[in-house]
Amino acid sequence: MRVREILAEVAHIAENKDMKDKILLKQESSIEEVAEKLEVLLSCYNSVMKSIALNYDEIVKTAIVYGKNANVNAVADVFLKLVSVTDLDGNPISYEVIGNQIFVNEERFEYTYRCIPLEQGIDDIAICTRRVISEHAYICGTLAEYFLRQNRIEEAQNWENRFRQAVEVKTDFKKRNLKAGKKWGL
């Protein structure tokens, strides 16, 4: 799903159907009011995306390096934490971190790191995390942020509660081994 589609749904709920159609039809450049609202909505979306990456699910990426050292600030995203350093076959190797540099004894290696993605544009594909977080969660979170910025506190709290419910859904259900007697109280 594209960011534009998420923002169109948010505009439909927060404003009206006409605003949704204008966003989906890419008419934001012709009307100044739509462009301003779209800029605010995009800012709200990016705020929610960062909140999800920091608080609910980590975004983990891997970088392959050809050489004996790597600068962690060279990655496009905001670097948070080094997760692992391995050779290209996936075997852990010894490394040393000095400042922003990773030093190894191998000529080629890869490192895995947690990050916060850069802000997304209107036509980007919505960010995916390792855990399945639905577009519904992004819509609810963006609505909560949007209403909060407009001082519509009750609506913001309502959508914030929906957002928390959407991101805290457990997706790793395990089968329970229940006996018939225990299940039906016999």
Sheet holding 108-116, edge to edge: 59-66, 108-116, 78-86
Q: What are 113's strand-pairing partners?
A: 61, 82
Continuous segment of H or E residues that includes residue 60: strand 59-66
Q: Scanning the structure block, which residue is given the tokens 């739509």?
A: 34
Looking at per-residue confidence, does 172 or 77 come out higher? 77
95-98 vs 101-104, strand pairing mode: antiparallel
Instruction: Give the torsion sign (CA, 15, 21, 26, 28).
Output: negative
The neighbour count for residue 112, using CB atoms within 10 Å, is: 14
Angle formed at CA 42 by CA 38 and CA 48, multiple of 5 degrees: 145
CA distance 122 to 184: 52
pLDDT of residue 28: 46
| C-alpha gyration radius of the chain | 22
What are the sequence ranges of the domains in the chain?
Answer: 3-57+129-167, 59-116
The two structure tokens encoding residue 168: 């805290």
Q: Per residue in 102-154, pLDDT tens?
A: 999 989 999 998 888 788 888 888 776 556 678 888 999 999 999 999 999 99
State the pTM of this model: 0.73
Q: Which pLDDT belongs to residue 146?
A: 94
> 184 falls in which pLDDT band (50, 70, 90)?
low
Alpha helices by DSSP H, listed for 30-83, are: 32-51
Query: What's the pLDDT tens digit per position in 148-172?
Result: 999 999 999 999 999 999 888 765 5
Average model confidence (pLDDT) across the chain: 82
Instruction: Kindly state the percentage of the chain with pLDDT values over 70.
Output: 84
What local confidence, expressed as pLDDT, does residue 17 receive?
74
Q: Which tens digit of pLDDT belongs to each residue from 57-69?
A: 777 888 999 989 9
Average pLDDT for 86-99: 91
Q: Which long-range contacts (CB under 8 A, 24 or more apart) does 11-16 make?
A: 11/37, 11/41, 13/139, 13/143, 14/143, 14/146, 14/147
For residue 108, what pLDDT is reported? 92
Largest Cα–Cα separation, the chain: 69
Cα 178 versus chain centre, distance = 37
